[in-house]
Amino acid sequence: MDHQKELLPLRIIAARFINTNEREGLDELDRITADVYRRVYWRYMRLWSAFTATLFATVITLLPGIGFTLAGVEGGEVVAIIGLIPFCLLLGVLCRWRILQYGGMTARKPQKAVYANPDDRAVRNLERLFAVLQQETTPRSFFRMKNGGERQIDERYFFGSLRAALVSKERPLRDMFLNPVGLWFSRELFLEADVAALIAQAKAEPNRSGTNKTYDYTDAIMSLIEHPDIRAMEVPKRGNQTKIKNLLEAWYGSKRQDAPSETQLMLYAKDVLNVIEKNRRANARR
C-alpha cells in the first residue's frame, strides 16, 4: 500500500536487505564494498593509467594536428594522423573497462558480480535486491540533479559486474562504475518503495539484529596442520600468506559456511604463517 512506501537512499534499502538492524546492515555493506574495492583496485588503476597516458598523448598530437591542418600548416595532416593512434588506444581502454563490467559494449543481461565471497549470506541478500532491481517492472531508482530535479535510471544499471559500487559509501569505488550508456557514474541513488514488500518479493533473509556473525576459524586453521601444501611450503617465501588465505577460503567453501571477509582471512593467514615459521625455526635448532 502507498502509505507503506518510503523514499530512501538505495544504500539504506540494501542495508535492510542484509540485516534487520539498519546500522548493522550498513556495517556489513561497508565490509562487502571494501572487499570489492580491494579486488578490482589494481586492475582499475592499470586501466586508469593507460587512459590518462593515451588521453595526454591525444591532446598533444591530435588536437594540434587538427589545428595545423585547418590553418594550412605543412605537415599538419601527418601530425593529425599520428594523433589518431593514441586516440584509438584511448577508446580501446574505455571499451575494455566497459566489457569487463557488462560483458560487451552494451548491457544485455546481468553479469556475474564481483565479490570477495559470493557465498557470504550478506552478499546473497544484496544480490537478491539487485535481482529485483534488474526487473523492468520494479519501481525505478533515481538520482537528484544539481537543479533539484530527479532523473530515473533503468534496470540495466544493475546488470554490471561492479553493481556493488551503486550502494557504496566510498567515492573511489563509485567512481569506477561505468553506466550502461555513457561514461563514469557515481551519483547517490534513491528509491521509493515498500521495503518490506521488496524483501518478501526477493525472498531475502536478513540477519536478525543482535546476532553476531561468528566464524569457525579454529576448525579452519586446524584443517591446515597436515595439509600437503602447508607441509611443502618454503619459509620464508613471498606469497605464502596469500596461499594460506586461499586454503582457508576453500575450506569454508567446502563446508558451505560463510567465510570471513578477505581482510579477516589475511589476518588469520598471517597468524598461521607466524606459527609455521616459529615451528620451523624451533625444529632447525634441534
pLDDT of residue 145: 87
The span from the CA of 18 to the CA of 208, in Å, is 9
Q: Could you report the per-residue pLDDT of 16-72, keeping only the tens digit for each?
A: 999 988 888 898 899 899 889 988 988 888 989 999 999 999 999 998 889 888 888
Grid cell in block for residue 144: 537528484
pLDDT over 90 at 14, yes or no: yes
198 and 266 in a single domain? The answer is: no
Q: What is the pTM of this model?
A: 0.69
For residue 222, give Cα distances in angstroms to 29, 77, 233, 236. 30, 69, 16, 21
172 and 227 in a single domain? The answer is: no
Q: Could you report the per-residue pLDDT of 190-211, keeping only the tens digit for each?
A: 999 899 999 999 998 888 765 5
Q: How many domains does the chain have?
A: 2
Residue 255 lies in a domain: yes
Q: Could you report the per-residue pLDDT of 218-272, keeping only the tens digit for each?
A: 667 777 767 788 878 877 777 888 888 888 888 877 766 667 777 777 877 887 8
pLDDT over 70 at 182, yes or no: yes
130 and 248 in a single domain? The answer is: no
Percentage, residues of the chain above pLDDT 90: 34
pLDDT over 60 at 109, yes or no: yes
Strand partners for 178: 184
241 and 277 in a single domain? The answer is: yes
Under DSSP, the state recorded for 192 is E
31 and 155 in a single domain? The answer is: yes
Tell me what the mean pLDDT of segment 93-97 comes to: 90
Grid cell in block for residue 258: 560463510
94 and 165 in a single domain? The answer is: yes
pLDDT of residue 1: 47
pLDDT of residue 217: 64
136 and 251 in a single domain? The answer is: no
Domain of residue 249: give its range.
217-285
Helix, strand counts (H, E) of the chain:
10, 4
pLDDT over 80 at 73, yes or no: yes
Residue 208 lies in a domain: no
pLDDT of residue 260: 72
Residue with cell 518490506: 196
Strand (E) or helix (H) holding 9: strand 6-9
143 and 181 in a single domain? The answer is: yes
